[in-house]
Structure 1
Amino acid sequence: MTSLATTAIELLLEAPFYAHLLGGLCRTFSAEKTKTMALAAGEGYFQLYLNPDFWEQGGEERKARLKHNLLHLVFRHPVEAGSFADRFLYDLAADLVVNQFLSEKERWPGAVTVEQFAGLGLQRGGSTHSYYEQLAAAGDSKELQALRARAGEVFEEHAWWSAFAEASSDGGQEVVRMNLDHLIRNARERAGTLAVGQLPGELQRLIATEPKQDLEIDWRRALRLFAGKSRETVLKSTIHHPSKRYGTTPGLRVKRRQHLLVGFDTSGSVDAEDLAAFFRELFAIWRTGAQITVVEFDAEIQRTYSFRGRPDSKVRGGGGTSFLPLLRFANRQATAGGLIVFTDGFAPTPLLPLRLPVLWVISARGVAKDSPLFRNLPGRKVKMNPSA
């Protein structure tokens, strides 16, 4: 929508760090997911749901809520949510923290502030943990009782934070945290020293924290986990099987389908041993019943074909490499559940919002894990070891 592009440009001019952080998120308009906007997480990426009606009518509140949600990312609030026993108190504590970084003019009606809870001893400048403990100690005060009754409405934007816990179920919370740290670092580097220096001191300290070193996850395991998460469960009516619950017809049949796109870099710089190892793993995934569409690309898409157990011997391409044609193609594939890109990584960083989860499998002789080309790739990234 035009209003989103306009708001992003305004942010870029007023607060470049927020604009670049927004640029690292997958953005999806959905009236079903949220009434305003909401953060969620997937396998190696972060999602921002936006209600189209809100964006058409929201006025200046759009930008304020956008900053509000981006601040939650900076404070890592969605990642920490599952560690607190009382989710209502955590939601409140998190909002009390980030809303201090919005001006009085930016705060919309209903936004919670520390001043509203001065009677409970809360003061400005506190942390999420300290606010949570103070609120928990207050018990069922009148202020908290009244707000708890409206929690679903007031904290509706936090509804999808549980997706951060689900996204970390296989690789652990540290993997999600690491991906978020890299997202924040990339936004900081793109914004530049001057723009970052204009942020409040506490935010500068938060975003100055360097990400932890990438966890050593075997690329084969990462590939299989990613492929497994691309499965989609579909319910279909059938007159041949009555409902097990009610004994009536038609019943329901559970079908699982899996469609993967595999981008194959044919620029000619991928080692033959790495290529053979990659297709052995792809064969194992294909044997589980997955539908796999191979997309050969260099600077353009050369051809696509259905994988039948082995790569086509007539590989086309051999020029330079660009990821943009592949990602644009993937965004148009409505039935695909994920994109795997096998490449050496030597290409300009693609600046394009992604509709699909993506896993980059970098060949052993490809870009180094500590290089900007590797770090700036959107989505999950794994590098093959030399003895792949």
Structure 2
Amino acid sequence: MAKRVLILIEGAGNNMRLYVQTAQRLGLHPIALSADPARYDYLAAEGIEAIRIDTGNLDALVSECSRLGATYDIAGITSTQESTYATVGNLCRYFDLPGPNATSIERCCNKFVQRELLAEAGVPIPAYRLAANAKDVESAAAEIGLPVILKPAVGSGSSGVRLCRNVDELAEHTSYLLGGKHIWRSSPRILVEEFAQGPYYSADIMGNELVAICDAEFGPHPHFVFREATYPALLTADEHNRIGDVSLSCLRALGLGWGPTNIEFRWTKRGPVVIEVNPRMPGSPAPQMVQLAYGVDLVTEHIKLVIGDEWNLRRRHPQIAAARILLPDRDGTLDWIDGDSRATAIPGVAEVKFYIGPKTPIVRKGDYRDWMGHVIAASPTRARTKTILQRAVDLIDWSIIPFPAEKE
């Protein structure tokens, strides 16, 4: 009997590792297709078959999957990466496998198109304008009123996203985005957006069902780098229902509703305002936290959907789960980082993970690439979880040696 294979197109952060491990636990043989398999060091470490291929070339992927299909039973095809998720939808349609709607994913990944569809459906969103050059940015910011947020119209992980509080910051970040320093995945287009102020919430949806809501905090402005998140969010029943109602409105407006969706909100004077709809699984450590807080394994249930099995989103053993992201306070070379074993030994600590090791050069980007690791804690109460988390974080330390000063 041919092995049942789960094909993974590229991957993002630690989520791909979760998908690989979950696939194996479900009796599937994972195969990774990537333009650069060496990016995912754990594939080789865990003996996972990885094939180098241009994942931006649909014809090449169809050909490769057809070749694999001659040897294996392809149970499903998926990805943890937003930029390749539409391609996954096209592959699934070609091979008659369960998968997302590629057109809906493509529309959603263009933040301007997403905004247009949400606005047309009456979903509450910040004021926004699309800009192609510095003059457009300046004009849009004047219309909306400072402060504004500048972000690439296509992108993820807060890359290139910045709060601009005055005209100098506006000009500086516009120059950064359009001056060749930012790597664009599409033609350069900037979304100029009202800064919606208020508590941040994130809703995790599978299919058409709201599974979880977290609240989170960021590091210092002008960037938006996550610092801490807690599941479930501290909300009244009415607030929870309002976020749920707006979330479902987003799915309808964007033609989503298959597989995972992550929706980000700010709670403003208008109530929940949608910041972004991400047509994918939230990044690690969110899946681990949802499992701890709600008893729902989002990765397992997504893979079941991908391979055509029946899923189960029933909630079990409610807890409060919180995570702290480990962030560097300076640029330089990581000399050492430790304390993970001591932190893990604390009762209630669920996971301590370092993403980098000694001798790693650190150049802060103001986005998800700044993350050095995370700590997750869980307990029956919010106060106890926060106490456990802080105790664990206090045991972790590192040393960053500044880069040598350049000689004039």
> Do they fold alike, i.e. is TM over 0.5?
no
What band does the TM-score fall into relative to the shorter chain? Answer: under 0.3
TM-score of the pair, normalised by structure 2 = 0.23
User: Highest Rg: 1 or 2?
Assistant: 1
Higher strand fraction: Structure 1 or Structure 2?
2
TM-score of the pair, normalised by structure 1 = 0.24
